[in-house]
Amino acid sequence: MAEVLVYVDHVDGAVRKPTLELLTLARRIGEPVAVHLGAGADTAAPVLAEHGAVKVLTADAPEFAEYLVVPKVDAVAAAYKAVSPVAVLFPSSAEGKEIAARLAVRIGSGIITDAIDLEAGDEGPVATQSVFAAAFTTKSRVTTGTPVITVKPNSAAVEAAPAAGAVEQLEVSFGEQATGTKVVSRTPRESTGRPELTEAAIVVSGGRGINGAENFPVIEALADSLGGAVGASRAAVDAGWYPHTNQVGQTGKSVSPQLYIAAGISGAIQHRAGMQTSKTIVAINKDEEAPIFELVDYGVVGDLFDVVPQLTEEVKAR
Ligand code: FAD
């Protein structure tokens, strides 16, 4: 059966959820072969096998930790040569997209970024994308070379499918450019204990209706009760009430969680662009004419300062 290369996003071998989603989608196209770079292959391999990887190609070298993406491109290119896959899949993270783009140039292939679904087609994998501020859904296919596709987090429900997952060492020789750019320092962000916004299954966002930074704990409390991440509209971010890293929308992050709760957000097209592909959308807004109600699954017309705390208490009580 045809093999599909899947780039593994991990932290010291702890495989991140978007990779498990990729393995699930990859199985629609062929047999997933995981490419794990850096430390932690022993930890990652059983998890990758549990989710359908027939093989885990791994390589570790100081270059992966010290330098930016080019050494990883060298490694994925080596895996590509070793496997001759029918497609190469990456998570749509900043790193995933950069490696994917560089790989596509190197192997002379077409690339599709930010897919939200993937299916097998007679002439190769077909990717679904949500485009033009989510006004259209398109289906595309790469027509040149081996498709290189990046897939947004939360695009598929993770399904286990135990496979052999035999670990094989990957021989990598680094090109001249591999060490061209070096990481000079890393400052970990202070952890909020909440999931990463783009990967969270639940996102609770606040907008201008929050009416001040001092009120954002109302949103945080609901997010925490649900184990979710906190998002914000640009109006809230521009007002300095919440960090830009949490902005959802065209000029912020694009999220696609199982549940998106928007409180005090009107639903401008630029905000929708970042959340419209969420599976279930709930809005709380005191204006029943607010455009956000056009796209919700459940809408609550009311003051968020009444509704959100009640919701939080209700969730906590369960
Ligand atoms: P508003 O539109 O002011 O809406 C506030 C809502 O809160 C209203 O509907 C009001 O009824 C409701 N409300 C007020 N008080 C309460 C209360 N107590 N209880 C319940 N409801 C209440 N926006 C983004 O969000 N993300 C982006 O990435 C983004 N990128 C942009 C890029 C460009 C090029 C441009 C031009 C704009 C962009 N915007 C973006 C801005 C966007 O157009 C809107 O201005 C913004 O989304 C509005 O934010 P908001 O919904 O929080 O505020």
Binding site membership of 252 for ligand 1 (Cβ less than 6 Å): yes
Digit-coded pLDDT (tens) for 40-85: 999 999 999 999 999 999 999 999 988 889 999 999 999 999 999 9
Kindly state the tokens that stand for 22: 């990729």
Helix (H) or strand (E) holding 100: helix 94-107
Binding site membership of 285 for ligand 1 (Cβ less than 6 Å): yes
Question: Ligand 1 centre from 238 Cα, in Å?
Answer: 10
Tell me how many helices (H) and strands (E) the chain has.
9, 16
Q: What is the pLDDT of residue 142?
A: 98
Task: Tell me the best of 237, 251, 260, 293 to mutate to test the pocket of ligand 1, counting ligand atoms within 8 Å of each CB and taking the most.
Answer: 251
What are the DSSP E strand ranges found in 60-121?
A: 87-91, 111-119
Q: What is the pLDDT of residue 16?
A: 94
Digit-coded pLDDT (tens) for 153-178: 889 999 999 999 999 999 999 998 89
Digit-coded pLDDT (tens) for 82-110: 999 999 999 999 999 999 999 999 999 99
Digit-coded pLDDT (tens) for 243-260: 999 999 999 998 999 999
| Sheet with strand 126-131: strands edge to edge | 136-140, 126-131, 111-119, 148-151, 87-91, 3-7, 31-37, 55-59, 166-169
- Nearest atom, ligand 1, residue 267 CA: 51
pTM of the model: 0.84
Q: What is the pLDDT of residue 1?
A: 75
- Which pLDDT band, with edges at 50, 70 and 90, does 188 fall under? confident
Task: Identify the three-state secondary structure at position 306.
Answer: helix
Cβ neighbours of residue 18 closer than 8 Å, sequence gap 6 or more: 9, 91, 92, 93, 151, 153, 154, 199
ipTM above 0.95, yes or no: yes
Other CB atoms closer than 10 Å to residue 216's CB: what's the count? 19
Helix (H) or strand (E) holding 128: strand 126-131
Residue entry with tokens 């598929």: 156
Binding site membership of 254 for ligand 1 (Cβ less than 6 Å): no
Kindly state the DSSP code that residue 250 receives in the 8-state scheme.
T
CA distance 185 to 143: 40
Kindly state the tokens that stand for 82: 């070793």
